[in-house]
A and B are shown apart, each in its own frame.
Chain A
Amino acid sequence: MRHKQGGRSAWQTRRMNKLAQSTPSTSLRDNPFLTAVWAIVWKDLQIEKHTRQTVSVMVMFSLVTVVMFNFALETELDAARNVATGLLWATILLAGTLGLNRSLAIERENQNIDAILIAPIDRRAIYLAKVISVTIFTLLLELVLVFVFIIFFDKPFWRPIVLLVLFLGTVGYVAAGVLITSMTMQTRSKEVLLPILLLPLVLPLILPAATAVGESMVVAPEASIIRSMVSLVAAYDLAILASGLFTYHLVVES
């Protein structure tokens, strides 16, 4: 009897595999977790496509910030070039808080988040989806910023290692950001609280990331420094993503 049941289930899986192969949808699509993640990311991208509010606000804000910082540097090009790396990260962090606030405020409008919470999906899928969509927005911003910085500061921001560090740094920043923003959205002071909580939390990530970017743009980069800095950034990413995945459900339940 047992043997027979086992045989049947094996037959069933074989049949399902066959079905999966025959249709264009892969087995990944059948995973309810990934389907939920993809649905929310798709929704965010659609909203952004129609409203174009998040990325454009972030880009405009960062351009203003860059120009503003140039006041502080007294428009001396040499001084500006030396701090270009730090300036890039500072701009991304500040513009990032806008993007995070905007992207999670959309969920609060019209009780959107309640609808998502009622749906029978894993809370971790919601977290992961928000991280992915805000990361995409921030990467779009960085695309513009890298271009602007190359022109303004004449530094090789296009190097692959710089782009890799930018990507890794953004993932860690947004992973912490989504968790913290989900909390601050539910407090009295709302948007005001986010930078106070988030920026100190991500500075241990930004310090090695900025060091790595700076080191990779000098004339003779030291590989060992870059390697240890990149691994620090990656370790932070993993640690913060794990704690986000574990605690996100505590932050959204009412």
Chain B
Amino acid sequence: MSLVKLNRWIPILNIVAAVTLVVSLGMNFFYAPTERTMGNVQRIFYFHVGSAWVGAVAFFVALVGGALYLRNKQRIWDTIALSSVEIGLVFLTIATAAGSVWGKPAWNTWWDWSPRLTLITVAWLTYAAYFMLRGAIEEEDKRARFAAVYVIVAFVTIIMTYISIRIFRDIHPVVFGGTLETAEGASEGLQDFAPGLESMKMGITLTVNTVSFTILYIAWMFNRIRLQYLMDSVDSLKMRVATRLQGGKA
């Protein structure tokens, strides 16, 4: 996608993202019913799940970007992978912070070294290390290649994390996908999804939140890719100035 096209789409996306975010925030507070056992604290849940979902999507996009870069060595795929990891890390941080705020009233502690929380911290570290790897390599081609390999291997560990948090006995509630019987401890602290209108309202709020976070992710991706374009053009301009100053022809 060219810079001109990006410049046209980005303002629209930004506005849509802002509006849907305000709508979902309003729904969290005024539309969703108050949960029976946990009360208003449960409203954090919508943001928590929304951002965790986007985190997973972002790392998957990074994996696809890395794989496609290795396939056809086009710089844009490396940029997509890099942007996606950056944004995914932000969303993962939001999810962890929101979860921690919820955990204080629910579990009476900000943090618990349960397998799920441990592994999500490890995932955060894994993707944070991605930037250390990029920072340590000078040659552009090699940096992109190694980063792509790393992002693929990192996603393998994310899949393992996804599987193992469904096998380990854990304090954290499981919303998507079932668990083994050994992990039944999960039901403690789970919000009440009884059938009926109330729980339907909760479901709708969750869906709207997830969609609006996804739109926010897309908007940020476009902004970040545009930023990379601008950085690259600044770099090439700098090179031209440097050659001109050295007396060569630009």
Contacts and interface: CB of A to CB of B under 8 A. Distances in A.
B4 interface: no
B164 interface: yes
A75 interface: no
A186 interface: yes
A187 B133 CA distance: 8
Given A207-B164, A239-B159, A243-B153, A250 B122 contact: no
Contact of B129 (A200, A224, A236, A244): A200
Interface in A207-254: 207-208, 211, 224-225, 228-229, 232, 235-236, 239-240, 243-244, 247, 250-251
Given A179-B153, A235-B160, A239-B160, A250 B145 contact: yes
A228 B180 contact: yes
B175 interface: no
B160 A183 contact: no
A197 interface: yes
A228 to B, nearest CB: 5
A201 interface: yes
Given A183-B149, A201-B153, A224-B182, A196 B129 contact: yes
B70 interface: yes
Contacts of A225: 182
Q: In terms of DSSP, what is the predominant structure of the interface of chain A?
A: helix
Contacts of B163: 232, 235
Nearest to B164: A232
Interface string A176-212: 1001100110111100010011001111110110010
Interface residues of B, number: 34
Nearest to A228: B167
B161 interface: yes
Contacts of B145: 250-251
B59 interface: no
Contacts, number: 96
Q: In terms of DSSP, what is the predominant structure of the interface of chain B?
A: helix
Interface in B139-188: 142, 145-146, 148-150, 152-154, 156-157, 159-161, 163-164, 167-168, 180, 182
Most chain A C-beta atoms within 10 Å of own C-beta, residue among B136, B137, B167: B136
A179 B154 CA distance: 12
Given A205-B160, A207-B164, A239-B160, A250 B133 contact: no
Given A208-B164, A228-B180, A232-B163, A201 B138 contact: no
A208 B119 CA distance: 11
B156 A239 contact: yes
A189 B122 contact: no
B160 A251 contact: no
Contacts of A250: 70, 145, 148-149
A193 B133 contact: yes
Contact of A207 (B115, B123, B142, B148): B115
Nearest to A242: B156
B97 interface: no
B153 to A, nearest CB: 5
A187 B149 contact: no
Contacts of B126: 200-201
A211 B132 CA distance: 30
Contact of B150 (A197, A208, A240): A197
Nearest to B119: A204
B136 A204 contact: no
Contact of B161 (A180, A184, A188, A204): A204
B115 to A, nearest CB: 6
B125 interface: yes
Contacts of B182: 224-225, 228
B236 interface: no
A251 B146 CA distance: 6
B150 A183 contact: yes
Interface of A: 176, 179-180, 183-184, 186-189, 193, 196-197, 200-205, 207-208, 211, 224-225, 228-229, 232, 235-236, 239-240, 243-244, 247, 250-251
Interface of B: 70, 115, 118-119, 122-123, 125-126, 129, 132-133, 136-138, 142, 145-146, 148-150, 152-154, 156-157, 159-161, 163-164, 167-168, 180, 182
Given A186-B137, A200-B157, A225-B182, 12 more contacts: A179-B149, A179-B153, A187-B137, A197-B132, A200-B122, A202-B157, A203-B119, A207-B168, A229-B167, A236-B157, A239-B159, A244-B153
Query: Top 8 nearest A-B pairs by Cβ distance?
Result: A187-B136, A200-B125, A200-B126, A203-B122, A204-B160, A247-B149, A189-B136, A204-B157
